[in-house]
């Protein structure tokens, strides 16, 4: 577990792991969606690379080569979240996280011999199967755009893969200590309340 890891009761939208060449983790982080911005995971990743700790490590001497894996809730969007002209939930209709990741890879990582691997745990708009054609937000066009986004990443040299049992083990092992800490804190607060409720009954 990374030093200084903090437990926050928010939805995790991405976990990032930077492994150096030959093994060993240089950096790991999780990004959470903070209202009201509702940024996409890739936006947090971009900020981390350009302005925060991950960028410092990438630009440092220790980062010569390696792989950054970004575990995403959904595959990166590519103008595929909605057809509504106003966008949806703070996301403009022309937003492309596939383009964001492609630019990060080509501009920040390839020159330092750092690979980028994207692993989504769910698909969103990526297939046209089971789409309700009566709902304009679930349109075949959005599915095609989502596929084009994945093709864009692959063409640039980004690896896009499915989750494996080792990936799930890594995520589980990484979150168990802070989750246990949070559960213990919740238990300490709930126990006296439950005891009081029993006494009052």
Q: Which run of H or E residues covers position 72? A: strand 66-74
Structure confidence by residue, pLDDT tens digits, 99-146:
999 999 999 999 899 999 999 988 877 765 545 445 555 577 888 888
pLDDT band at 6 (very low <50, low <70, confident <90, very high): very low
Residue 5 has pLDDT above 50, yes or no: no
Residues 6+ apart with CB under 8 A from 99: 78, 149, 152
For the chain, domain boundaries: 12-163
Rounded Cα–Cα distance for residues 61 and 75 (Å): 31
pLDDT band at 61 (very low <50, low <70, confident <90, very high): low
Task: Check if the beta carbon of residue 116 is closer than 8 Å to that of residue 98.
Answer: no
Please give the residue that has the higher pLDDT: either 182 or 101: 101
pTM: 0.78
CATH superfamily of the domain spanning 12-163: Cytidine Deaminase, domain 2 (3.40.140.10)
Rounded Cα–Cα distance for residues 16 and 5 (Å): 13
Residue 37 has pLDDT above 80, yes or no: no
């Amino acid at each position: 577990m990374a030093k200084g890891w903090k437990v926050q009761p928010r939805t995790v939208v991405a976990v990032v792991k930077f492994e150096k060449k030959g093994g060993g983790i240089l950096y790991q982080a999780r990004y959470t969606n903070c209202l009201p911005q509702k940024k996409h995971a890739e936006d947090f990743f971009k900020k981390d690379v350009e302005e925060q700790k991950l960028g410092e490590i990438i630009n440092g001497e220790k980062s010569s080569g390696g792989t950054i894996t970004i575990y995403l809730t959904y595959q990166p969007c590519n103008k595929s979240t909605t057809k509504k002209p106003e966008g949806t939930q703070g996301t403009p209709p022309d937003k492309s996280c596939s383009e964001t990741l492609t630019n990060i890879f080509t501009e920040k990582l390839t020159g330092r011999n750092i690979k980028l691997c994207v692993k989504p745990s769910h698909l969103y708009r990526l297939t046209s199967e089971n789409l309700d054609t009566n709902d304009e937000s679930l349109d075949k066009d959005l599915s095609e755009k989502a596929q084009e986004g994945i093709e864009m990443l692959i063409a640039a040299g980004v690896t896009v893969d499915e989750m494996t049992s080792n990936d799930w083990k890594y995520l589980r092992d990484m979150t168990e200590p802070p989750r246990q800490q949070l559960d213990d804190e919740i238990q300490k607060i709930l126990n006296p309340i439950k005891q009081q409720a029993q006494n009052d009954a």
